[in-house]
Amino acid sequence: MNLDELIGQSGEWLRGAGPESDIVISSRVRLARNLVDFPFLTRASEEQRAEIHRSIRGGLDKVGLGRNGHVYIDLADETDEMTSRFLLERHLISRELASGSGGRGVLFNRSEMLAVMVNEEDHLRIQAIRAGFQVHEAYRDIQWIDDKLDRDLGFAYSPTFGYLTACPTNVGTGMRASVMLHLPALVFTKQIEKVFASVTKINLAVRGFYGEGTQASGDFYQISNQVTLGISEDGILDLLTRVVPKIVTYEREVRDHLLDKDRLKLEDKIWRAYGLLRAARSISSEETMDLLSAVRLGVNLGLLGNVEISTVNELFILTQPAHLQRLEKRDLSANERDATRAEFIRKHLGF
């Protein structure tokens, strides 16, 4: 498998399946781990970094993740910055890994439900992504990998502090469980701040579309556990299981309310967005995200019957700059990108 095979498609988690998938786009769980025999990356020499990289790649091979539809991208070998950005846009790597240097890389499988980052902030970031609301299932997907790799590589662990991580905010379980929510109605009615205020009070964090420090875009928000120590893995997953359905219900109630009381305004917003996307000859990434969000809402409310939800989901990713350039197989100027994007969207929405 090579990266070009991924171009025209998206990860399994964007296909629009899974529980509550009208609002919960995806569930992801990641575990931060470090090898006990090496310093963390900030204190590792170039040689140690390379050795960590080698050991982990060996470990991944041993547990059977080196074959059968798995691909490993060695980012140190990639001189092309576009590859990192492409992987970043697909949520397969973090910004930290993309902008890093030295021995590092990512392993993922064809469905893109598994992604293992090597030498990010920690030696290992093992991540599972599932469509819809499936945090427990996502954790199950990687639990065995964690156990098997530990047997082979030996992870840094203390009975007092748990799994030891470079940043004390990740120590303990080393687990970050998050769900990506699409909350256009709560944004539209300005109820979203209320949700954030109550969520942050119970040790959950709210982040943007591309994680920590990013802007919310297309009305997407990621909600994840803030605390990793003093709580068990199940405790973290249960916290999300208790809170997320409440937000989902709230979003649905507001949608119903809008349909009931403000139908014309809502329909107008959705159809205008659809019309613009089908007609535009040049469109920015930002505008695309906004309009797609309205279209996505329209599809989920049954107002736009002829559009597939998977098409809309995929467009959020496939219209990002690095994806367009990979598709065109060349660097594009900002103007060229906007034109290519508009054409790509028109084609996918049936024109």
Task: Catalog residues that contact another protein under the rule CB under 8 A.
Answer: 34, 36-40, 42-43, 121, 147, 150-151, 154-164, 166-169, 171-173, 175, 203, 227-233, 235
CB of 109 to another protein, least distance (A): 24
CB of 173 to another protein, least distance (A): 4
Q: In angstroms, how far is CA 255 from the centroid of its own chain? A: 25
| Structure tokens given for 174 | 């080393």
CB of 26 to another protein, least distance (A): 23
Q: Pick the closer one to another protein by CB: 44 or 318.
A: 44
Residue the block writes with tokens 């598709």: 327
Q: H helices of 105-232, where?
A: 135-153, 184-188, 192-201
> Which of 132, 130, 183 minimizes the C-alpha distance to 293?
183
CB of 214 to another protein, least distance (A): 20
- How far are the Cα atoms of 163, 176, 285, 286 from residue 293, in angstroms, in the given order? 39, 26, 12, 11
3-state secondary structure 272-294: HHHHHHHHCCCCCHHHHHHHHHH
Q: Pick the closer one to another protein by CB: 234 or 253.
A: 234
| Structure tokens given for 193 | 């701040």
Q: Pick the closer one to another protein by CB: 18 or 100.
A: 100
CB of 81 to another protein, least distance (A): 25
Q: Pick the closer one to another protein by CB: 15 or 28.
A: 28
**Enclosing H/E stretch for 163:** strand 162-163
Q: Pick the closer one to another protein by CB: 12 or 51.
A: 51
* 3-state SS class at 105: strand
